[in-house]
Amino acid sequence: MNNSLLKFLNNTGTYSEKEVALLKEELQFRTLKKDEILLKKGDICSSFCFIITGSFYQYNIDANLDKNIIDLNVADDWVINHKSFTSRKPSQFFIQAFENSSVYEISIDAIHKLIAKSQSFLQMGKILEEATSRVDLFDNDYTPDEKYQYILKNKPELIQRFPQKLIASYLKITPETLSRVRKRFLKP
């Protein structure tokens, strides 16, 4: 288990050394190649992944066959389709590796097993809360400038990792609007 994951877990709650050891036993290391699908639309999301290296994007495809970005994730993020995971219903979205990536994956069955051994693992619910709030963030009435400023402040690596077209879709603005916003932020 890497240090970033331990640090993140400590932000969700307090875990004993024994509990960390139990968690390590349940984590599955997995690698995905660029463009490999982690979750297909129509499948039920039965696990979530901590990104060690690489990046992922979550999207749906509209009637014009354009990808509408729901979420962007980079190293030290959790990637999950929250709605499918919690409702146990088929996913409305795809999750795809944007580049070669490696993750620690934990299944819902493993989480239930951990909770049966220690109630401390209920604290992992904070991971789901974070995923939900991040996905819903840009559905609110923020201006394009406020959306871009949020990313600059909280997730600048998204701007370095993903092309402008994907970032614009994630922010729910056009690439042209994103270009104008970026110019305003670059002015001295």
Tell whether 132 and 149 lie within a shared domain: no
Q: Which of 137, 152, 178 is the last residue of a domain?
A: 137
Same domain, 76 and 19: yes
Last residue of a domain, one of 98, 120, 137: 137
Judgement on whether residues 131 and 147 belong to the same structural domain of the protein: no
Give the whole-angstrom CA distance, residue 67 versus residue 2: 32
- Which amino acid is present at 25? E
Give CA–CA dist 65/171, Å, rounded: 19
Structural domain for 69, as ranges: 3-137
Is residue 132 located within the same domain as residue 169? Answer: no
Same domain as 183, residue 114? no
* 141-168 residue pLDDT tens: 788 898 899 899 989 999 999 999 999 9
Residue 134: pLDDT over 60: no
Strands (DSSP E) contained in the chain are 28-32, 37-39, 47-53, 55-61, 67-74, 78-79, 94-97, 101-107
Domain count for the chain, please give it.
2
Provide the sign of the torsion angle of the four alpha carbons 99, 105, 107, 111, taken in this order. Answer: negative
Please state the rounded mean pLDDT for residues 55-79. Answer: 92
92 and 156 co-located in one domain: no
> Does residue 73 sit in the same domain as residue 119?
yes
Residue 47, domain CATH: 2.60.120.10
Given 137, 155, 179, the domain boundary residue is: 137
Asked if residue 87 and residue 58 are part of one domain, the reply reads yes
Averaged pLDDT, 101-127: 87
Residues 104 and 24 in one domain: yes
- Residue 100 sits in the same domain as residue 167: no
pLDDT digits (tens, 9 = 90+) for 8-27: 777 777 888 898 888 889 99
Question: Where is pLDDT greater, at 76 or 100?
Answer: 100
Same domain? 112 vs 81: yes
